[in-house]
């Protein structure tokens, strides 16, 4: 295509207009020689160094990164253990606290200090100093025992001796008529489901 | 030669990669992959102020491998018995067990104690001990509300709320899978394969129970039962306006943290599961229904004969008398059976039953305990006039204690029955039922006027001159109440065996009630009745509650309605 363009009309005109020095006479006038090929060899060392540095840096970095990850995994393990231990410790302390908050424990300590539960409620209205309700000195009457009374087990020998002869019968009230209130004394036995 | 070797390698490569790559990858992963269960924490059961009644803590089981521990068994057994409190001889035997590689040394040990013991063993170079997860359920309040809370067995819940709300309390365990480096003490491999499903912790249950009041109620009840040499007792404290159950006590009861100490029969909640005939306390329901129906007034005059024929037998009063003139108020104050029956004859057929159903008798309260009894109210078909006469004063029907307390509370709450609740807010039972204060319903049973009239009549019960229960008075406050002494049915003979259930129900302050208290004592052997045994228990519990919640006296004088004419 270039050859046809060189011979052809419009293309040649264009070229003449743009580059007048390209026509033959101009070329003849100019003493052109081939530019000698300059062998510019870029220094190899820096490049090799750079690549090596990147390579080694990368490997070392990766190694360090992995090591630190591993390190982190170790310390994570340790911290996890520590957290578990501390959580368990907290729970144990919480448990101790709850044991102390148990109403029974509080009542036992209060009774050891000689405290009793007051019987009649009374309110002191602080701004006026007025007392509402019956303020009475507290007595022991309203403080229930801490523990149920245990039936004292009879000595084995005695139990063996008395058991067959004296079956235990609950004491019956002597005057049921007055003792039992509102008990209908209907004589026939209801059958209940 | 080289080509031959290489082709062998190549063949092996094709075999590994081409035919069966997955099984080898799986084997490699299995070496290092661990599955861990992420335990869901079981929900706590708390009282109304947030104090735990049941609580879960991390626990561990300590396991020994006798093939390793046999070499230093005596030293290790000493260490373990000191640290874990296990029996030396039994532990020694386990540590030496020939041919075994797995022996439980201790179960459900708090994690701190177990890990400390194992670490101490490690430090002395005793090998062969490991720990595994074994959660511990603690009941820090011991016997306080144990009847309600229930307890956990080794494999699951055995009673109370622990059982009926097990699904909600249990939560859902999660799961984690990750790769570990076995050489480095199972350290997790960073960037290794891992997956995790978070656990869903169980829900907490917040109760309406006030643990301090519950303690006091339980212990006052215990004293009353033991002083009267009775079989058992129950007590209920309700907030009159909201129906919240502040205390629900049973005696005998048990220690939830060590249920095995008590006989099996004491480990339930009889106040809900057992039924009994309420006796005269029920007159409150009968007569307020009559007042509501407009058949009577507190001043209605009745001529009460010495006995009254009903069916084939006679009804008597607890006190021998000739023909007496009582007002309706006097019938309540003196607890006259005959007077109640005479007044109740004004009911139309079926009317009393309809009222009692509205009061909630014969239906479970559904507070959230499985195994609650619904009580026994005769069906419409079984209902007959002779039975109705006895139902008028609380025989021939059966109730559970909370049912009866809720019925009496209707009067305290101005004639509107409010469902009793044990759960603050709401919670879902195993069977899907939603219960709690949020879903408690209210319904009017009797008019406000009838409730007020009944309250005034009940104020006369604690009057020292005309009533039966002067010991039920709380100094400074107006109390309305009713005694009950009922014949007990012996399940062996299906007959009344001559023993009694005594009770007292009431509320205070009478003109603006805050609390309803109901006390029941079964089979007292000191000859006491509802007024003399139940009354003082009521007064103590009511006094404690009024003081604890700072309820001021209302300064209204008690009613002076006439009891005779």
Q: Residues of B numbered 91-110 whose beta carbons fall under 8 angstroms of chain A's beta carbons: which are they?
A: 110
pLDDT over threshold 70, residue A11: no
Tell me whether residues A192 and B376 touch, CB distance under 8 A. yes
User: In angstroms, what CA-CA distances link B164 with A8, B70, B155, B159, B271?
Assistant: 105, 45, 15, 8, 16
Smallest CA-to-CA distance from B485 within B504, B457, B467, B511 is with: B504
Q: How far is B372 from chain A (nearest CA, A)?
A: 17
How far apart CA B427 and CA B7 sit, in angstroms, is 71
> Is 90 exceeded by the pLDDT of residue B278?
yes
Whether residue B222 is found in the same domain as residue B114: no
| Beta strand pairing call for B205-206 and B45-46 | parallel
Judged against a pLDDT cut of 50, whether residue B286 lies above it is answered with yes
Residues B209-241 have pLDDT tens digits of 999 999 999 999 999 999 999 999 999 999 999
Q: Do the beta carbons of residue B64 and residue B93 sit within 8 Å?
A: no
* Per-residue pLDDT tens over the stretch A167-181: 333 333 333 333 333
Stretch A24-52: mean pLDDT: 78
Residues of B in contact with A110 (CB under 8 A): none
Q: Residue B302: how many CB atoms within 10 A of its CB?
A: 19
Q: Within this chain, do residues B402 and B468 fall inside the same structural domain, yes or no?
A: yes
Check if the beta carbon of residue B526 is closer than 8 Å to that of residue B431.
Answer: no
Cα distance from B481 to chain A (closest Cα, Å)?
A: 15
* Domain presence at residue B262: no
Contact B140 A142 (CB under 8 A): no
- Asked if the C-beta of B140 comes within 8 angstroms of chain A's C-beta atoms, the answer is yes
- pLDDT at residue A74, as a whole number: 86
- Strand ranges for B115-271 from DSSP E: 129-133, 136-138, 174-181, 187-188, 194-197, 205-206, 232-239, 245-251
B530 to chain A: closest CA residue: A181
CATH of the domain at B398: 3.40.710.10
What confidence tier does A33 reach under pLDDT thresholds 50, 70, 90? confident
Whether residue B160 sits in one domain with residue B216:
no
The mean pLDDT value of chain B amounts to 90
Report the C-alpha gap between B39 and B134 in whole angstroms: 10
**Statement to judge: residues B195 and B244 lie in one domain:** no
Q: Are residues B494 and B530 in the same domain?
A: yes
* Catalytic (active site) residue B280: yes
Q: B206, B232, B261 — which closes off a domain? A: B206
Residue located via tokens 């530019």:
A35
pLDDT > 70? residue B530: yes
pLDDT-derived band at A19 (thresholds 50, 70, 90) equals low
Give pLDDT tens digits for B336-386.
999 999 999 999 988 999 999 999 999 999 999 998 999 999 999 999 888
Cα separation, B358 vs B352, in Å, equals 10
- Final residue before a domain boundary, out of B183, B206, B229: B206
- Residue B431: inside a domain: yes
| ipTM value | 0.79
Domain shared by B188 and B39, yes or no: yes
Inter-chain contact B527–A173, Cβ cutoff 8 Å?
yes
Same domain, B409 and B289: yes
CATH of the domain at B197: 3.90.1310.10
pTM given for the model = 0.80
Q: Both tokens of residue B58?
A: 């991390």
Q: Are residues B147 and B239 in the same domain?
A: no
With CA atoms as reference, report the closest residue to B518 among B233, B241, B318, B168: B233
> Could you tell me if B367 and B393 lie in one domain?
yes
Contact: B390, A91; criterion CB under 8 Å? no
B119 touching chain A per CB within 8 A: no
Distance (Å, whole) CA B406 – CA B352 = 18
Contacts of B188 in chain A (CB under 8 A): 73, 76-77
B198 pLDDT more than 50: yes
Question: Does B19 map to a domain?
Answer: no
Domains in chain B: how many in total? 2
Chain B residues near residue A99 by CB distance under 8 angstroms: 140
Does any domain span residue B8? no
Which pLDDT does position A160 carry in this prediction?
45
Residue where the block lists tokens 């448990």: A95
Same domain, B64 and B106: yes
Residue B126 has pLDDT above 80, yes or no: yes
B187 and B247 housed in the same domain:
no
- What pLDDT is recorded for position B38? 79
Report how far residue B6's alpha carbon sits from residue B11's, in angstroms, rounded to the nearest whole number: 9
Compute CA distances A107 → A34, A139, B204, B233, B237, whole Å.
115, 15, 27, 22, 20
- B5 domain-assigned: no
pLDDT, tens digit, 9 for 90 and up, residues B421-463: 999 999 999 999 999 999 999 999 999 999 999 999 999 999 9
Q: Give the pLDDT band of residue A188 (cuts 50, 70, 90).
A: very low
Listed by start position, the domains of chain A span 48-101
State percent of chain B over pLDDT 90.
60
pLDDT band per the 50, 70, 90 thresholds, residue B23: confident
| Residue numbers of the domain that contains B188 | 32-206
């Amino acid at each position: 295509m270039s050859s046809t363009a060189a011979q052809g009309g419009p293309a040649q005109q264009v070229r003449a207009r743009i580059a007048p020095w390209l026509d033959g006479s101009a070329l003849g006038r100019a003493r052109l020689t081939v530019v000698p090929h300059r062998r510019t060899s870029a220094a190899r060392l820096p490049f090799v160094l750079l690549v090596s540095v990147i390579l080694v840096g990368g490997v070392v970095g990766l190694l360090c990164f992995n090591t630190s990850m591993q390190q982190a995994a170790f310390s994570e393990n340790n911290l996890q253990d520590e957290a578990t231990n501390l959580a368990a410790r907290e729970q144990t302390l919480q448990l101790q606290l709850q044991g102390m908050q148990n109403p029974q424990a509080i009542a036992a300590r209060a009774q050891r200090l000689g405290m009793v539960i007051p019987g009649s409620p009374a309110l002191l209205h602080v701004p006026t100093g007025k007392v509402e309700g019956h303020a009475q000195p507290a007595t022991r009457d309203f403080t229930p025992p801490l523990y149920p009374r245990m039936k004292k087990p009879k000595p084995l020998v005695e139990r063996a001796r008395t058991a067959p002869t004296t079956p235990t019968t609950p004491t019956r009230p002597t005057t049921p008529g007055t003792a039992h209130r509102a008990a209908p004394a209907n004589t026939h036995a209801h059958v209940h489901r | 030669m080289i080509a031959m070797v290489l082709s062998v390698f190549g063949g092996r490569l094709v075999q590994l990669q081409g035919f069966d790559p997955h099984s080898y990858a799986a084997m490699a992963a299995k070496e290092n992959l661990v599955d861990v269960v992420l335990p869901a924490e079981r929900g706590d059961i708390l009282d109304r102020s947030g104090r735990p009644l049941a609580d879960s803590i991390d626990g561990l089981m300590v396991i020994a491998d006798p093939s390793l521990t046999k070499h230093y068994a005596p030293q290790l057994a000493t260490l373990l018995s000191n640290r874990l409190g296990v029996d030396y001889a039994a532990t020694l035997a386990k540590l030496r067990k020939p041919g075994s590689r797995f022996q439980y040394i201790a179960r459900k040990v708090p994690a701190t104690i177990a890990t400390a013991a194992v670490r101490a063993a490690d430090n002395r170079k005793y090998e062969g001990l490991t720990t595994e997860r074994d959660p511990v359920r603690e009941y820090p309040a011991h016997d306080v509300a144990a009847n309600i809370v229930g307890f956990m067995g080794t494999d699951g819940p055995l009673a109370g709320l622990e059982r009926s709300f097990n699904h909600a309390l249990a939560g859902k365990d999660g799961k984690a899978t990750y790769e570990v480096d076995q050489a480095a003490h199972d350290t997790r491999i960073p960037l290794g394969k891992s997956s995790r499903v978070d656990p869903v912790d169980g829900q907490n249950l917040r109760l309406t129970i006030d643990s301090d009041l519950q303690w006091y109620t339980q212990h006052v009840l215990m004293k009353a039962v033991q002083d009267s040499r009775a079989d058992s007792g129950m007590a209920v404290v309700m907030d009159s306006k909201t129906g919240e159950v502040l205390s629900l006590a049973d005696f005998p009861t048990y220690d939830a943290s060590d249920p095995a100490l008590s006989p099996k029969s004491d480990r339930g909640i009889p106040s809900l599961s057992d039924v009994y005939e309420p006796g005269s306390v029920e007159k409150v329901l009968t007569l307020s229904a009559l007042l509501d129906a407009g058949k009577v007034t507190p001043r209605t005059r009745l001529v009460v004969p010495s006995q009254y024929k009903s069916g084939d037998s006679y009804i008597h009063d607890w006190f021998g008398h000739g023909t007496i003139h009582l007002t309706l108020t006097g019938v309540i104050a003196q607890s006259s059976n005959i007077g109640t029956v005479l007044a109740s004859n004004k009911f139309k057929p079926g009317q009393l039953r309809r009222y009692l159903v509205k009061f909630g008798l014969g239906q479970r309260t559904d507070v959230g305990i499985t195994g609650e009894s619904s009580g026994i109210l005769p069906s419409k078909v079984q209902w007959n006039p002779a039975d109705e006469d006895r139902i008028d004063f609380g025989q021939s029907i059966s109730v559970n204690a909370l049912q009866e307390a809720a019925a009496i509370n209707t009067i305290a709450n101005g004639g509107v029955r409010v469902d009793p609740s044990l759960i603050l807010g709401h919670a879902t039972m195993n069977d899907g039922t939603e219960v709690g204060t949020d879903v408690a319903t209210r319904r009017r049973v009797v008019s406000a006027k009838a409730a007020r009239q009944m309250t005034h009549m009940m104020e006369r019960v604690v009057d020292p001159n005309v009533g039966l229960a002067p010991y039920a008075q709380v100094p400074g406050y107006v109390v309305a109440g009713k005694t009950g002494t009922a014949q007990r049915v012996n399940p062996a003979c299906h007959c009344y065996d001559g023993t009694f259930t005594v009770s007292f129900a009431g509320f205070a302050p009478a003109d603006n009630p805050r609390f309803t208290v109901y006390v029941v004592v079964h089979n007292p052997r000191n000859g006491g009745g509802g007024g003399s045994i139940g009354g003082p228990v009521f007064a103590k519990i009511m006094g404690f509650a009024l003081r604890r919640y700072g309820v001021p006296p209302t300064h209204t004088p008690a009613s002076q309605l006439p009891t005779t004419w």
